[in-house]
Amino acid sequence: MNKELTSLVKAWEAAVIKSAGPKKRVNSIFTPMHVAHVDDENDVSQIVEKVLSNGDIYKGQWHENFPHGHGKYLWIDGCMYVGEWKNGDIIGKGIFSWASGATYEGDFKSGGYIDGKGTFIGPIGDTYKGCWVMDLRNGQGTQSYPNGDFYDGDWKKGLQSGEGRYQWKNGNHYIGQWRHGVFYGNGTMMWNNGNRYDGCWEQGLPKGNGTFRWGNGSFYVGVWSKDPKEQNGTYYPSSGSFGGHLEWDPQELFSVDLSDCKVCPCEKVSNFPSQRILNLPGLDNDDGNTMRPRKTSVDGRLSNCSSEDGSYSYDGLESPQVGNFIPRVPHLTLKAPKKQGETISKGHKNYELMLNLQLGIRHAVGRPAPSSSLDLKSSAFDAKEKVWTKFPPEGSKHTPPHPSCEFRWKDYCPVVFRALRKLFKVDPADYMISLCGDDALRELSSPGKSGSFFYLTNDDRYMIKTMKKAEVKVFLRMLPGYYKHVRAFENTLVTKFFGLHCVRLTGASQKKVRFVIMGNLFCSQYSVHRRFDLKGSTFGRSTDKPEAEIEPTTTLKDLDLNFIFRLRKSWFHEFCRQVDRDCDFLEQERIMDYSMLVGLHFRGISCSDNSTPSGAVDHLVVDPSRWTQLGINMPAQAELTRRISVCDTPQLVGERTGELYEIIIFFGIIDILQNYDISKKLEHAYKAFQYDPTSISAVDPRLYSKRFRDFIFSVFVEDT
């Protein structure tokens, strides 16, 4: 036993003896038995020392023929547990050491399972620190390997699954998605020589759309596969480079670049505390074998985790709950989220529009341009700062041939939006692949209240919204203030905009379609079970749908809200500051009718149709840069509320019930392009004659801002 562990054991023994109070002199641990009584108002425990029949040794607190409290159990093969016990069961905080020199210190659950948070140190120096479920790494955790490699990210059933970062000793590192211990999904590999690959992975290798770039700025975009027959793409030299990597074979990525990027396996651990026999009196079964008592869940299955009343079980599919609460009696009927929208394939009424849009974006983003500085001249924001490009089907000097009809393409303030994409850390190649890759866009089933249509990229990263001419004017007017605001506040909750464009079809109609490209708030590895659009008004703010008809894609409103969201202290104070900053900005720009879009992922609650495991939506390709930040992937609690009707006045925030759910929450401020113009003033005057003026959405921006903040700060509270 190493010196550090010996000192920990001695300290624990001293704590046990001290907690027992005054007693007679204690004999050596190797004596058959010594008992000292300790009186307590609620319990009567003893300090015992036992040499058991098979040679195992127990020393510690004892109650009703079981270890109960603090105690040490030493097996004859050299393994030892020092920690908390409950009715003969290893449960609580403790330290387990193996004869090999490996140790685990942390949480144990019923049955002696390593379950909760803890640190495992292997005999050869590998260390895992993080969450466990049923003796397996599961949840958030870090692993350092004996060879110097390091992993930080999500685990599931003992393997890297979810989002994570792996760094090799030589400085290479991968950031992105994992499945079953290998790269799978969307991710970025960066080498210490400055090269990098961004794109899709499958079974640990690039597969699908991706970009390989060199340190000098040149890059290769294409479809990747280890099979050379499936590999195809285009090389783009950097400005000022000649020749460069034209002779480079894309297959070198598989045979050369990835040859020294192997993921080190975790050391296999056998003989966990949950698998060991406790040779204690009172734990004998009918067959005469010694075993520990096991708790069962309400359906009679062995419980994977414990609670005081034993009324819930844990399926091991999710990471452990944040905090100490797990919902025991879920009142929610959740449906499995499905991929949203209709794929725009050939024959769809908007198929040609989608092709035009993709051609235009590819041209706009790929067009050579000087390196943009974040310090922009005022002329860059001029509404007249726009670029028209003609796209004939046969192609031109600046545009490729294409199968669509002839159209004209307009870029509004291209320098500003290039700077915004840089400010939001959007890689140009990734952006182009998401919007213009081989995968089609998806059209949402119905237009919004404004009549705008919405489209999603196949990887769910970006949303495209059609705009009216008046909205474009408002956006261009507020663009300087918007740029200044998002640059000043990194955690801003207002919508992130990446481009503003227009397609004008040729022919008799001369139809113009204006659209803006935005970030999708709900792009995450967590499926969204509930979504709310919150304004703080009551008139028309209900969907009037029964619970059975609510889909994960249904956007509920203020009067449908039946939760209060409890944020951790540090997040809550930053949230309040940022909402104030964002509302001040929108008020100054004379904007109203915006809302807080909120998405909830309920942890540990299975969906009713079981078509998709809770917390796992395999089709999502997640931006590896979207780690937990304000409004993104945030652990929180949702407290159920119930409304009490008072006359005819609807209650905006219900009464708390004390029933809590562990959630991952997403939120952001959307629809920020509605100016308080003459039409909104007339709408306010008309509705104010018929309804309570404070209940309607169309109000002066100052009043709107105050009402919005008051409501949001009553719905989001500090978790105490």
Per-residue pLDDT of 248-263, as tens digits, reads 788 888 888 887 788 8
- Using the predicted structure, report yes or no on whether residue 545 has a pLDDT greater than 80: no
CB 366 within 8 A of CB 430: no
- Using the predicted structure, report yes or no on whether residue 621 has a pLDDT greater than 50: no
Mapped to the 3 state alphabet, what secondary structure does 176-215 carry?
A: EEEECCEEEEEEEEECCCCCEEEEEEECCEEEEEEEEECC
Q: Does domain 522-605+629-719 have CATH number 3.90.1150.10?
A: no
- Whole-number pLDDT of residue 179: 85
- Whole-number pLDDT of residue 28: 36
- Whole-number pLDDT of residue 583: 94
Q: What percent of the chain has pLDDT over 90?
A: 18
When pLDDT is cut at 50, 70 and 90, the band that residue 504 belongs to is confident
Per-residue pLDDT of 418-452, as tens digits, reads 999 999 988 888 888 888 877 778 888 665 566 67
When pLDDT is cut at 50, 70 and 90, the band that residue 683 belongs to is low
Please tell me what DSSP assigns to residue 57. Answer: E
Can you name the residues that pair with 512 across neighbouring β-strands?
504
pTM of the model: 0.57
- Whole-number pLDDT of residue 297: 28
How confident is the model over 27-38, as a mean pLDDT? 36
Q: Which residue has the higher pLDDT, 130 or 366?
A: 130
Task: Report, in this order, helix, strand and coil percent for the chain, each rounded to 5.
Answer: 20, 35, 45
**Which of 315-324, 461-470, 594-603 shows the lowest mean pLDDT across its residues?**
315-324
Spatial neighbors of 181 by CB under 8 A, at least 6 apart, are 159, 160, 161, 263, 265
- Using the predicted structure, report yes or no on whether residue 342 has a pLDDT greater than 80: yes
When pLDDT is cut at 50, 70 and 90, the band that residue 718 belongs to is very high
- Whole-number pLDDT of residue 695: 53
- Using the predicted structure, report yes or no on whether residue 165 has a pLDDT greater than 80: yes
- Whole-number pLDDT of residue 331: 55
- Using the predicted structure, report yes or no on whether residue 118 has a pLDDT greater than 80: yes
How far apart are the C-alpha atoms of 473 and 469, rounded to whole Å?
6
How confident is the model over 323-349, as a mean pLDDT? 63
How confident is the model over 165-188, as a mean pLDDT? 88
Residue-wise DSSP of 95-126: EEE-TTS-EEEEEEETTTEEEEEEEEE-TTS-
| The pair of three-digit structure tokens given for residue 615, joined into one six-digit string | 């917390």
- Whole-number pLDDT of residue 384: 79
How do strand 442-443 and strand 342-343 relate by DSSP bridges? antiparallel
Q: Which residue has the higher pLDDT, 103 or 438?
A: 103
| The pair of three-digit structure tokens given for residue 192, joined into one six-digit string | 């210490």
How confident is the model over 89-117, as a mean pLDDT? 86
- Using the predicted structure, report yes or no on whether residue 519 has a pLDDT greater than 60: yes
How confident is the model over 682-702, as a mean pLDDT? 59
Can you name the residues that pair with 95 across neighbouring β-strands?
82, 105
Which range, 328-337, 416-425, 667-676, is most confident?
A: 416-425
Which range, 158-162, 603-607, 618-622, 626-630, is most confident?
A: 158-162
Each domain of the chain, given as residue ranges in start order, spans 348-520, 522-605+629-719
Distance of CA 361 to the CA centre of its chain: 28
Q: Which residue has the higher pLDDT, 42 or 703?
A: 703
- Whole-number pLDDT of residue 450: 62
How confident is the model over 479-486, as a mean pLDDT? 95
- Whole-number pLDDT of residue 289: 37
Please tell me what DSSP assigns to residue 255. Answer: I
CATH of domain 348-520: 3.30.800.10
Q: Which residue has the higher pLDDT, 612 or 552?
A: 552
Q: Which residue has the higher pLDDT, 341 or 84?
A: 84
- 522-605+629-719 has the same fold as 348-520: no
Can you name the residues that pair with 62 across neighbouring β-strands?
46, 67
| The pair of three-digit structure tokens given for residue 515, joined into one six-digit string | 């659209």
Can you name the residues that pair with 80 across neighbouring β-strands?
74, 97
- Whole-number pLDDT of residue 623: 44
When pLDDT is cut at 50, 70 and 90, the band that residue 460 belongs to is confident
Can you name the residues that pair with 36 across neighbouring β-strands?
47
- Using the predicted structure, report yes or no on whether residue 706 has a pLDDT greater than 80: yes
Residue 134 C-beta-side C-alpha neighbours within 13 Å: 14
CB 558 within 8 A of CB 652: yes
**Which of 10-14, 88-92, 97-101, 246-250 shows the lowest mean pLDDT across its residues?**
10-14
How far apart are the C-alpha atoms of 117 and 132, rounded to whole Å?
6
- Using the predicted structure, report yes or no on whether residue 18 has a pLDDT greater than 50: no
Can you name the residues that pair with 63 across neighbouring β-strands?
66
DSSP E strands in 525-633: the ranges are 530-534, 555-556, 563-567, 595-602
**Listed residue (534, 532, 541) closest to 695, CA to CA:** 541
When pLDDT is cut at 50, 70 and 90, the band that residue 559 belongs to is confident
Tell me what the pLDDT averaged over the chain comes to: 76
The C-alpha R_g of the chain, in whole angstroms, comes to 31
Per-residue pLDDT of 196-243, as tens digits, reads 988 888 888 888 888 888 887 788 888 888 888 888 887 777 765 555
**Listed residue (244, 133, 707, 134) closest to 235, CA to CA:** 244
